[in-house]
Amino acid sequence: MAGSTGNFHKIGDLAAHVGGTVLGDAGRLIDRCHGLMGAAPTDITFVSNVKYMRQLATTDAGCVVVGRQVNQASIGRQEKPPLTFIQTDDPYFAFRQIVVLMHGFRRHAAVGISPLAHIASSARLGKNVNIHPFAYVGENVIVGDGCNIYSGVTIMDDAVLGAECILYPSCTIYEQCVLGNRVILHAGVVIGSDGYGFATHKGVHHKIPQIGNVILEDDVEIGGNSVVERAAMETTRIGMGTKLGNGVVIGHNCHIGQHNLLVSQVGIAGSTSTGHHVVLAGQVGVAGHLHIGNMVTAAAQTGIAGDILEKQVVWGTPSIEIHQAKRVFAQLAHLPELVKRVRALEAQLEKLKPGGDHAEPGG
């Protein structure tokens, strides 16, 4: 949890920074961003999800960033002093802007090139690069300006990093893979390991050389221990601005579109493609050789076994339209009783058949 910044900001100034409107004391001083619960009188917080609205009645926060529809009359505080709000069109993004202003991003020490790192003589390093002890940079590697490479990172031969990339400890970049500008790889990420390719002949699985590579476009961020497999013969590509959570696996030959959000533990089999602004929630599984259209959303634990047209919202295994899925799952709790009723009806039908228990003698 972030501590006090020691740098106070007036609520009115914060509102101006995000284009918001102050309801309350614009001169009140704020020095920290904090979650809604446990916030102190010098903290600023936010509400963007309606299910947290009731907590506005009890929070001690000094200021809350909210949507335009929220006001004092809508929250019913009875035993607490009135809240000060910053009303915005997009409270989540506005709060993000305030966090950046007040706390900034993680700072990287200017360590330069550690003598304990291995840098191949043919590697080309840009300006203001920081490489920590025990990192490995192979032959003909290109590292762009302003990159930060932490301990235990391995960059194999002929790989390319754009400017201002951040590779956290123990990342591995296999040979010939390409990272764009401002790519962030969290600890343990593997880029360009062999795709899962085997030819089965007479009961034996024979490895197929994976001779392609991986390209991560600008502003891709990948969470810890995720894996992006190299293509069998061409390129596995992750589109510009796409974000992967922890423990995500992208199979060989996949083309993931721009500005996708793939949440933790998503798995996508080989040769599948997605359009732009696709959202796959936690533990979504996607079969191979499929296409997921632009702006599709799949709810958590969805199993996708066929192509999905653009702008669909799906859930379930196999995936179906989410409103239909909700109706289906709502009935699952009644399934045992429905089975009993069906069996009882079947028994009654048997009695109504000729020669059944109800039949009159000689009838």
Query: Do 176 and 194 form a contact (C-beta atoms < 8 A)?
Result: no
Q: Which helix (H) or strand (E) holds 137?
A: strand 136-137
Q: Is 334 a catalytic residue?
A: no
Query: What six digits make up the tokens of 355?
Result: 């020669």
Rama region for 350: left / alpha / beta (φ>0; ψ in -120 to 50; rest): alpha
Task: With H, G, I as helix, E, B as strand and everything else as coil, classify residue 344.
Answer: helix
Query: Do 185 and 204 form a contact (C-beta atoms < 8 A)?
Result: no
Q: State the catalytic residue, choosing from 9, 186, 252, 277.
A: 252
How many angstroms separate the CA atoms of 252 and 262, rounded? 16
Query: What six digits make up the tokens of 155?
Result: 């960059």
How many angstroms separate the CA atoms of 352 and 319, rounded? 41
Residues 6+ apart with CB under 8 A from 300: 263, 281, 282, 283, 284
Q: Checking DSSP bridges between strand 166-167 and strand 221-222, what pairing results, if any?
A: unpaired
Instruction: Compute the 3-state secondary structure of the chain and give helix, strand, coil in percent, each to the nearest 5.
Output: 15, 30, 55
Q: In what order do the strands lie in the sheet with 297-298?
A: 130-131, 148-149, 166-167, 184-185, 221-222, 243-244, 261-262, 279-280, 297-298, 313-315, 320-321
Residues assigned a catalytic role: 252
